[in-house]
Amino acid sequence: MSLTYVVGHVNPDTDSIASAIGYAWLLHESDSGDVVAARAGALNPQTIWVLKRLDIDAPVLLTDASPRFEAVTRRLDTAAPASPIREAWAILSRTRGIAPIVNPEDGKPCGLITGLSLFNYLSNYVGPHPRSQEMRLAELLDQPCHEACDTNVPRFQAGTRIRDVLNRILREEHNEFLIVDKNGVYLGVTRQRDVLNPPRMQVILVDHNEPSQSIGALEEAELVEILDHHRLGHMSTHIPIRFSVDVVGSTSTLVSERIEEAGLSAPPEIAGLLLAGLLSDTLILTSPTATDRDQLAAERLSRWAFVHNGPLDGETIASFGDQVLKAGAGLSRRDPMEIVSTDLKLYESGGYKFAIAQVEVTDLMQLSEHQEELLAALNNLRQQRGLDFSMLMVTDVVGNSSRLLSVNAPLILDDLPYPRQPDGTRLAQGLVSRKKQLLPTVLGLLEE
């Protein structure tokens, strides 16, 4: 497989999507082969707004790295069922013994002509005494292809994971398989030996480095690189890779630095997207996670993005950042389960498996209207994911504070340094970063 996928974490936020698209663009411009930006889950409202504002297509959805049949498919030349066998014979000579027979009307395969199917047809057609049948041998190549076609060849959809049907493949007597799309249209052919040894998908991870936050079946991929700004997880690789984890407020900052180091400037749309990722993750550079490098990156990206006649012509860092934050803020128009699942991170520490979700609002007063349904959604999330406890961090992006909701939290977390309110939530003044403020505090208590 020649493609390399750049993908962020599950439940992607704007920085995850922006850094995937931006880094894929940089690698492509740097002649690093075919590089494609991907996403590991559904887009949140903020990211949808940013992509629409900049007229950028969403990255391809990549939920797991397990090889699929499309990775081992060869699109061989075909013959029609009514065509003479001599046409299939010409294909057989070029493909080492395989000629796909495809109906030209609907594009669906009828089967394959192989050396074995052709021999079986020849035996029936000529009979046991070929010397007395020289005339019939000459006529053989003029017979229609469907007469010599093996119509029992197994078919698999290109998007099917190989491991899901591996047992069936091992039981099959056929050595060749037809590959079709979801409508049954011919896409190509593969051989059993290729299916049993598929190429590993090449993957670059951005904005995360923990397997629990990554695409499924990552162990089946060839991990090429990691570019991140979070704590170190428990990632292992088969071979040495390029691994960069730096203390900045967003992965978009790191991507912008690499673009500058390459002597390039991002197109206005890509620069605007990276700027949105940076401003979202750092709350317009007010978060404790923001650094001087983030400030420089914001200035750099704004210079590339706010160009004349560009999509962000006339904007400033403050005005654009305000729009980005407002696009992702609010509780009223969103389903509670969506709220607790969209910006969600899973962790393990001190013998506990838990989740911390975060949602942004412009006023903490709206929490009281939705608190009960959010708690119910948190509990559903805990049960569905098999977690010990779950938390939701409702962050006021205007007032720079948060309220914490939790379900089934262990007693040790009663020592959290945030005063409990009459409604059972905790008020955390100045708490806006899950990564730098809340998580270290929670981990410190759990690991005592």
pLDDT of residue 238: 78
What global pTM score does this model have?
0.81
Over residues 253-278, the mean pLDDT reads 98
Q: Reply yes or no on whether the pLDDT at 250 is more than 70.
A: yes
- 25 touches 47 (CB < 8 A): no
Measured distance CA(26)–CA(75) in Å, rounded: 31
Q: What is the pLDDT of residues 214-227, one digit of tens each?
A: 999 998 899 999 99
Q: What angle do CA 390, 395, 345 make, to 5 degrees?
A: 35
Q: Reply yes or no on whether the pLDDT at 232 is more than 90.
A: no
pLDDT of residue 346: 93
Measured distance CA(306)–CA(26) in Å, rounded: 19
Residue 425's H or E segment, with its range, is none
High-pLDDT (> 90) share of the chain, %: 81
Q: Tokens 């009281």 appear where?
A: 368
pLDDT of residue 133: 57
pLDDT of residue 127: 67
Domains annotated for the chain, with CATH where assigned, are 4-66+201-328 (3.90.1640.10), 70-195 (3.10.580.10), 336-446 (3.10.310.20)
DSSP state, residue 104: T
- Contacts of 355 by beta carbon, 8 Å cutoff, 6+ apart: 344, 345, 346, 347, 381, 382, 385, 387, 390, 391
Over residues 136-157, the mean pLDDT reads 89
Q: What is the pLDDT of residues 297-341, one digit of tens each?
A: 999 999 999 999 999 999 999 999 999 999 988 888 789 999 999
CB atoms closer than 10 angstroms to residue 341:
22
One-letter amino acid of 284: I
What does the mean pLDDT of the chain come to?
Answer: 93
Q: Is residue 159 classed exposed, middle or buried when 0-12, 13-18 and 19+ CB atoms within 10 A define those classes?
A: exposed
Over residues 365-380, the mean pLDDT reads 93
- Strand 242-245, strand 155-157: pairing: unpaired
- Contacts of 283 by beta carbon, 8 Å cutoff, 6+ apart: 290, 325, 397, 400, 432
Measured distance CA(203)–CA(24) in Å, rounded: 11
Contacts 24+ apart (CB under 8 A), 298-301: 300/256, 300/260, 301/252, 301/256, 301/266, 301/271, 301/272, 301/274, 301/275
Look up residue 61 and give its two tokens: 């959805």
- 434 touches 287 (CB < 8 A): no
SS3 40: coil
The radius of gyration of the chain from alpha carbons, rounded to an integer in Å, stands at: 28
Q: Tokens 């750092």 appear where?
A: 282
